[in-house]
Amino acid sequence: MLPPALAANCYHLIQKCDKVIKKSAHGLNTLINLNRIYQEDCLSFMSKLKDQKILVDVIVTSPPYNMNKEYGIYKDNKEREKYLQWMKNVAEKSYDILKDDGSFFLNVGGRPVDPTSPFEVATQFRTIYELQNTIHWIKSVSIDAEDVGKNNEFREYGNISIGHFKPIVSDRYLSDLQEYIFHFTKTGNIKLDKLRIGVTYQDKTNIGRWKSAKQDKRDRGNVWLISYPTIQEGRPHPAVFPIKLPERCINLHGIKPNMLVYDPFMGIGNTALACLRLGLNYLGTEIDAEYIKVAQDKIASTPLETYLSEDNHEFI
């Protein structure tokens, strides 16, 4: 028997330790470390989480879009039906490991030649989940000065364009400057922390005039301009989202102590970095060891404040 003081110390050490230890179905002790990215297929990993009764608060992810992107090892050209069935499987498996009051934020984009693809993916998810919000992620926008309004300091810039995008070479299609973030929940009725990502009122006389306006913060709405940070060197991954995207989704869901966030398609770790910024636990899966290596290096070495912050949009 351990002396009580030593036992107490051991207990606190175990509490601090970020390991979740459970008995597997086979009676063996298996170990899932929090704050790690596993090189594993997300479906098999979600089955393990289910077996071990590990539930997550938020899932935020961007799956492959099936548009022939040049990933390292993943082949992004499944037959349409197989791709949609795979997405349905992801939805089904995730449902079992998401808490009843959890949120699943699914970022999907399309292509001008195949514009309905994101909705078809969302339709698969809707067979399992309720679609609570549809958010438009805007990567770049051009604003004419006359549309800015009189009492807005942006007016002095004249016509402005903000953000980056990949221009399309076509005389038929417009460049695609947006993607979707479908917000799925189990009931469609999950209370969110909207003001955590809220914006200040342009017209301060609204504060107090409206019953709902108790502070200088209002609902941001479902159109989110999030620019990519400028990349100076080569791109380690062909299809990433900015850290700010998962960060804002998690904030919108609301932050609670000991929350756990999972990204099934972790890529080079932007959801993990968002969790680090927010002080939250994360789990990730990614099949490509090279991407995991990039993620681990970023996690270990990047000063987080160097990433684009809320008020640091670039002008082009």
Ligand X SMILES: C[S@@+](CC[C@H](N)C(=O)[O-])C[C@H]1O[C@@H](n2cnc3c(N)ncnc32)[C@H](O)[C@@H]1O
In the bound state with ligand X, the residue whose beta carbon lies nearer, of 162 and 272, is: 272
**Residue 125 binds to ligand X (criterion: CB under 6 A):** no
**Residue 118 binds to ligand X (criterion: CB under 6 A):** no
Single out the segment in contact with ligand X by CB under 6 A; choices: 60-68, 77-85, 120-128, 193-201. 60-68
CA distance 224 to 136: 6
Question: 43-75: string of b/e by CB count within 10 Å (b at 16+)?
Answer: eebbebbeebebebbbbbbbbbbbeeeebeeee
Backbone angles phi, psi at 217, to 5 degrees: -150, 135
Contact pick of 94, 137, 267, 299 for ligand X (by CB under 6 A): 267
Return the closest-CA partner of residue 93 out of 138, 120, 125, 71: 125
Name the E strands within 54-207: 56-61, 98-108, 130-138, 140-143, 160-163, 178-185
Site for ligand X in 9-38 (CB under 6 A): none
**Residue 106 binds to ligand X (criterion: CB under 6 A):** no
**Residue of this chain nearest to ligand X (CB atom):** 267
In the bound state with ligand X, the residue whose beta carbon lies nearer, of 34 and 207, is: 34
Q: What mask, x for binding ligand X by CB under 6 A, covers residues 68 to 87?
A: ---x--x-------------
Closest approach of ligand X to the CB of residue 288, in Å: 4
**Residue 268 binds to ligand X (criterion: CB under 6 A):** yes
Q: What mask, x for binding ligand X by CB under 6 A, covers residues 37 to 56?
A: ----xx--------------
Using an 8 Å Cβ cutoff, are 247 and 277 in contact?
A: yes
Contact pick of 52, 62, 66, 103 for ligand X (by CB under 6 A): 62
Single out the segment in contact with ligand X by CB under 6 A; choices: 122-130, 203-211, 214-222, 259-267. 259-267
Single out the segment in contact with ligand X by CB under 6 A; choices: 57-65, 97-105, 121-129, 220-228. 57-65
Single out the segment in contact with ligand X by CB under 6 A; choices: 28-36, 109-117, 140-148, 280-288. 280-288
Name the E strands within the chain: 19-23, 29-33, 36-38, 56-61, 98-108, 130-138, 140-143, 160-163, 178-185, 223-225, 260-263, 281-285
Backbone angles phi, psi at 114, to 5 degrees: -140, 60
Using an 8 Å Cβ cutoff, are 117 and 81 in contact?
A: no
**Residue 288 binds to ligand X (criterion: CB under 6 A):** yes
**Inter-CA distances, 3 with 7, 8, 16, Å:** 6, 9, 20
**Residue 241 binds to ligand X (criterion: CB under 6 A):** yes
Residues for the chain: how many in total? 316
Q: What mask, x for binding ligand X by CB under 6 A, covers residues 188 to 217?
A: ------------------------------
**Residue 228 binds to ligand X (criterion: CB under 6 A):** no
CA distance 58 to 64: 19
Q: Which residues contact 48 (CB under 8 A, 6 or more apart)?
A: 24, 30, 32
**Residue 119 binds to ligand X (criterion: CB under 6 A):** no
CA distance 112 to 96: 34
Closest approach of ligand X to the CB of residue 223, in Å: 21
Single out the segment in contact with ligand X by CB under 6 A; choices: 129-137, 181-189, 218-226, 260-268. 260-268
CA distance 12 to 76: 46
Contact pick of 57, 179, 247, 286 for ligand X (by CB under 6 A): 286
CA distance 133 to 213: 22
List residues near ligand X by CB under 6 A.
41-42, 62-64, 71, 74, 237, 239-241, 264-265, 267-268, 270, 285-288, 291
